[in-house]
C-alpha cells in the first residue's frame, strides 16, 4: 500500500549529514563525531554488585509493573541531590523519573505545545531535542549565543516577533554542541525575559555534574520563583546511558501532565535500572565516582585542546569548555565547512558538521563539533594531527 | 504562572474510575482490578544468571548508548520467533525493539495520524492504547464486538462514515478487557475490509503467547499481502513487564518512520534489558517457560471461572477466555454497573468498571473486568464468594 504518514513525521527527514556520520562506523576512521561517555567512566563493578543484590533480595519488584512516576526511593534521592547540589529543593511529587533525559524534553514539549506554537532554542542546539520538537510540528526559532550563552537582545526580539512562544529550551551547562556555559548573570536575565513574556523555560542539564574546571553556577531552576522552569536531568553521563534513566523536576501541575503522557508512552521506566541508579547514588561513593569521571574528561579535554593548539591552523577558533563532552570549532568566514568535514572523513577523521545542530539544516554555519570523551588518547592525538595538517594546508 | 497546556493533554483527564482503583492499593482489599502477570511466572533465577553473565562478559555494551532500532541479536531472535510461531517471516529491518508493547502502539499512532484523523478500535478496548491515541487528538471510533471479535458490519459502517480513517486498532488474542479471541474467519474478513478502505491495521498481540486452551490462530499479520499490518508484540507477559521490552514488526518504510520517532522519544530501549531478553529466549528453554506460565494461568482462570459458576447470580454472564489475563462479566440489562463496582470495593473486592475501557467514559456499558493472574488462589476464591453473594442479593 501507499503509506500516508502524519505531517509530524514527513518533516523528519534523513539528513545529508548522515552521509558523513555513517563513515564513523568504519573501524579505520577515528571518530570525533560521537556523543558517548567514555567507557572507562562506567562503574561496572558497582553495577554488577548492585544488580546481583537487587535480583537476589528484591527480584519481583525489579521485574513487575511499576508506577509511572518512578521508583519512589529514586525520586527521593533525586530530590535530595537537587537540594544539596543544585540550590533547589522540590517536593517528591515535583519529580518524575523518565527513560533518559531525552524523554523529559519530548514529554515537556508534548504537554505544552500545539502544532504551530513557537519554541525558542539556542542555535546551534542538541539535534535530538530539535528533532523531538520538530516531531510535534512546532515552529522552531533559533537564537544565537555569545560567550555567555543565548543572546538576550536577540532572545527578546524573537519573543516579540513570536507572541505564540510557549517554551524557551536551553542547555545552560556545557551546551551540546558548543561546550559553552551560560553565565549566572545571563541566567538571571533570561529568567526575567521568560517572566516578562510569560513563557516556560525548559532547562536541559545532562552535563551539569561533569564540570571539570571553574565554579559551579546555580541552575535557572534555582531562580524560579513562579514555577515556570522545567528541569531535565539524566543519569547517562554520571552512571551509564544504556540504562536510559533521567528525571524531570517541575511544579506538581506540570509533573502530573507529564505523568499522563509518559503513561501512554512507555508506562514506566525500566524499574531494575531505576533501582540500580538509586542504590548506586546512596550506597556507593557517588561523589568519588563523579570526581573520577571529571578527572577522565578533564584530561581528555585538555589533551584535545593542547593537540588542537599544537596542530590546527590559527585561523580555526575553538571553545575551551569547563565541562561536558564537546569542543566547538569554527572555520574562518566564508569557508566551505561541509567540504572540510567531507575532506576530514576521507582522511579518516569524522567530525559532525555544524548544520546538524541548526534549527534548519540550511542555516549558514561554519563550525563543527569535536567529541573528546569517546576516542582513546592515541586517537585524540592522531586525529588532531590529521585535522591540523588539513587545516594548515587549507587556511594558512 | 498559569499554565497553558496543549490541546493534546487537556483532553486526558484523571478519570472517575480512579476513585475505585485507588482502593486497590489498600492491603485489606482483594484486587481483581490489576493487569499484572503473576509474580510466580517470572524466571527470576534465569534473569539473575543471565544478568550476571552479561555484566561480567560484556558490560560496556550493556551500559553504553546503543542504536535506536534495537539490539541486533534480539531483532533477529524476534524475527525467527515470528517465523517459527506466527506464520510470518519478516526481514530484520522490518523489526524494531520498543520500550514495551505500549510504545509500539503510541509510535505507530504518531507516525500515521494527524489531529482529527480517525482511528477505529474495538469497544471496549485497552485503556492504555485508548489514552495513547487520545493524546494525539485523534477521532476515536469504537466498534462493538460479538463472540468472534469486532463486528464486521459495524466496522464497515464506521469505515464508510469516517472516510478519514487511517488505522484500525485490534487486539485479536484474548483481548483486554474482554478476554475474547478473534476467529480466523473474522481476521480474514477484517483484513479484506482494511484493503477495501485502504487503511492500516495495528495488531496488538501482548497475550498471544499465553494461550492455555484451544488452537493457535494465525495473526492478521500473517494474512498481510500488501504491507498494511503493523504488528506489536511484548515481553511483558512472557518474561517480565518491569524490563519494558516489546517490538514492532512492519514494512521497512514504516519501521524507518517509527525509528525516527523512537529516537526522539527515548533514543533506544534499555540495552541490558534487551540483552537479557535475547539471552533468555536463546539459551534457556523458552518453550518450557511458556508452558509453565500457561499452566499457571490455565489453573487460575479455571479456578476463577469455577468459583464464578459456583457463586455468581446466573444473571451475570462471563466470557470464558482461552488465554490472557482477563474475564469480562456483564450484568443484567439496565443494572447500575458503576454502583455494583462501588459496592464491591466497599465489600473489599476491586474490579474495573467497564467504562474504563470505552472510547468515551460516558458510553453506556454494564460490564466489568476481572483479572485472574495477580490474585492468589485464596483471594480468587474469597473474592468470588463476596462478589457472588452481592450479586445474588442484587439480582436473584
Chain A residue whose CA is closest to B198: A1
CB within 8 Å: A227 and B1? yes
* Structural domain ending residue among the three candidates A264, A283, A302: A283
pLDDT > 90? residue B27: no
Q: Average the pLDDT over B301-311 and give the result.
A: 98
Tell me: do A261 and A345 sit in the same domain.
Answer: no
Does the interface ipTM go beyond 0.90? Answer: yes
| 8 Å CB contact between B330 and B366 | yes
Q: Average the pLDDT over B18-31 and give the result.
A: 75
CB within 8 Å: A1 and B198? yes
The span from the CA of B229 to the CA of B169, in Å, is 10
Query: How does residue A11 score in pLDDT terms, banded at 50, 70 and 90?
Result: confident
Tell me: do B375 and B244 sit in the same domain.
Answer: no
CB within 8 Å: A112 and B240? no
Q: Average the pLDDT over B294-299 and give the result.
A: 97
Tell me: do A121 and A215 sit in the same domain.
Answer: yes
DSSP A250-319: --HHHHHHHHHHHHHHHSS--HHHHHHHHHHHHHS-HHHHHHHHHHHHHHHHHHHHHHHHHHS-TTSEE-
Tell me: do A229 and A88 sit in the same domain.
Answer: yes
Tell me: do A140 and A232 sit in the same domain.
Answer: yes
- A292: in domain: yes
pTM of the predicted model over 0.90: yes
* Structural domain ending residue among the three candidates A283, A312, A340: A283
CA–CA–CA angle B10, B16, B21 (5° rounding): 120
Q: pLDDT for B57-94, tens place per residue?
A: 999 999 999 999 999 999 999 999 999 887 889 999 99
CATH of the domain at A113: 3.40.640.10
Q: Could you tell me where the DSSP H helices lie in B3-150?
A: 7-10, 17-21, 44-57, 59-63, 72-85, 101-112, 127-134
CA distances from A139 to A113, A172, B246, B354 (A): 10, 22, 33, 40
pLDDT > 90? residue B318: yes
CB within 8 Å: A268 and B244? yes
| 8 Å CB contact between B145 and B178 | yes
* Structural domain ending residue among the three candidates B227, B256, B283: B283
Q: pLDDT for B108-152, tens place per residue?
A: 999 999 999 999 999 999 999 999 999 999 999 999 999 999 999
Smallest Cα distance from A121 to chain B, Å? 16
Tell me: do A161 and A250 sit in the same domain.
Answer: yes
Chain B residue whose CA is closest to A60: B39
Q: pLDDT for A29-69, tens place per residue?
A: 999 998 889 999 999 999 999 999 999 999 999 999 999 99
Q: pLDDT for A40-49, tens place per residue?
A: 999 999 999 9
CB within 8 Å: B102 and A267? yes
Q: Average the pLDDT over A287-316 and give the result.
A: 97
Give the residue, B244 or A19, on which the prediction is more confident. Answer: B244
CB within 8 Å: A265 and B4? no
The span from the CA of B112 to the CA of B254, in Å, is 9
Contacts A69 to B, Cβ<8 Å: none
Tell me: do B242 and B363 sit in the same domain.
Answer: no
Contacts A44 to B, Cβ<8 Å: 55, 59-60, 63
For residue B358, the enclosing domain spans 7-43+288-395
pLDDT > 80? residue A135: yes
- B293: in domain: yes
In this prediction, residue B10 carries a pLDDT of: 81
Q: Record the cell numbers describing residue A348, joined without a space.
A: 579518516
Tell me: do B323 and B236 sit in the same domain.
Answer: no
Tell me: do A164 and A299 sit in the same domain.
Answer: no
pLDDT > 60? residue B14: no
Q: Which of B48, B62, B254 sits opposite A55 (nearest CB)?
A: B48
Q: How many domains does chain A have?
A: 2
pLDDT > 60? residue B376: yes
Tell me: do B26 and B52 sit in the same domain.
Answer: no
Q: pLDDT for A234-279, tens place per residue?
A: 999 999 999 999 999 999 999 999 999 999 999 999 999 999 999 9
In this prediction, residue A13 carries a pLDDT of: 63
- B322: in domain: yes
Q: Which of B230, B110, B134, B10 is nearest to A134 (CA)?
A: B110
Give me the percent of chain B exceeding a pLDDT of 90: 89
- B1: in domain: no
- B359: in domain: yes
Parallel/antiparallel/unpaired status of strands A367-371 and B352-353:
unpaired
Mean pLDDT score across all residues of chain B: 94
CATH of the domain at B391: 3.90.1150.10
Tell me: do B170 and B131 sit in the same domain.
Answer: yes
In this prediction, residue B360 carries a pLDDT of: 86
Tell me: do A173 and A267 sit in the same domain.
Answer: yes
pLDDT > 60? residue B172: yes
Amino acid at each position: 500500500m501507499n503509506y500516508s504518514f502524519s505531517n509530524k513525521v514527513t518533516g523528519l527527514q534523513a539528513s545529508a549529514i548522515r552521509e558523513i556520520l555513517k563513515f564513523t562506523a568504519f573501524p579505520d576512521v577515528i571518530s570525533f563525531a560521537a556523543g558517548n561517555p567514555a567507557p572507562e567512566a562506567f562503574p561496572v563493578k558497582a553495577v554488577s554488585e548492585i544488580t546481583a543484590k537487587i535480583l537476589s533480595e528484591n527480584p519481583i519488584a525489579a521485574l513487575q509493573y511499576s508506577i509511572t512516576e518512578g521508583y519512589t526511593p529514586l525520586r527521593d534521592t533525586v530530590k535530595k541531590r537537587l537540594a544539596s547540589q543544585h540550590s533547589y529543593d522540590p517536593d517528591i511529587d515535583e519529580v518524575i523519573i523518565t527513560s533518559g533525559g531525552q524523554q523529559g524534553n519530548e514529554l515537556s514539549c508534548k504537554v505544552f505545545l500545539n502544532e504551530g506554537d513557537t519554541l525558542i532554542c539556542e542555535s546551534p542546539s542538541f539535534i535530538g531535542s530539535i528533532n523531538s520538537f520538530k516531531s510535534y510540528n512546532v515552529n522552531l526559532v533559533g537564537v544565537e549565543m555569545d560567550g555567555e550563552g543565548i543572546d538576550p537582545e536577540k532572545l527578546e526580539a524573537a519573543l516579540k516577533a513570536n507572541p505564540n512562544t510557549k517554551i524557551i529550551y536551553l542547555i545552560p551547562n556545557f551546551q551540546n554542541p558548543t561546550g559553552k556555559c551560560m553565565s549566572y548573570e545571563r541566567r538571571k536575565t533570561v529568567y526575567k525575559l521568560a517572566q516578562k513574556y510569560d513563557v516556560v523555560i525548559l532547562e536541559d542539564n545532562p552535563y551539569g555534574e561533569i564540570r571539570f574546571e571553574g565554579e559551579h553556577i546555580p541552575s535557572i531552576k534555582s531562580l524560579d520563583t513562579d514555577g515556570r522552569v522545567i528541569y531535565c536531568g539524566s543519569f547517562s553521563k554520571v552512571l551509564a546511558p544504556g540504562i536510559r534513566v533521567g528525571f524531570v523536576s517541575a511544579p506538581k501541575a506540570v509533573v502530573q501532565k507529564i505523568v499522563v503522557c509518559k503513561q501512554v508512552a512507555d508506562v514506566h521506566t525500566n524499574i531494575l535500572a531505576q533501582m540500580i541508579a538509586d542504590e548506586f547514588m546512596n550506597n556507593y561513593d557517588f561523589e568519588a565516582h563523579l570526581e573520577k569521571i571529571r578527572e577522565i574528561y578533564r584530561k581528555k579535554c585538555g589533551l584535545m585542546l593542547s593537540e588542537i593548539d599544537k596542530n590546527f591552523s590559527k585561523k580555526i577558533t575553538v571553545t575551551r569548555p569547563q565541562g561536558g563532552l564537546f569542543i566547538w570549532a569554527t572555520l574562518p568566514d566564508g569557508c566551505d565547512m561541509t567540504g572540510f568535514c567531507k575532506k576530514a572523513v576521507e582522511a579518516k577523521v569524522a567530525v559532525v558538521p555544524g548544520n546538524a545542530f541548526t534549527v534548519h539544516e540550511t542555516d549558514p554555519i561554519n563550525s563543527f563539533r569535536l567529541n573528546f570523551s569517546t576516542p582513546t588518547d592515541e586517537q585524540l592525538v592522531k586525529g588532531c594531527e590529521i585535522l591540523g595538517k588539513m587545516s594548515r594546508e587549507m587556511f594558512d
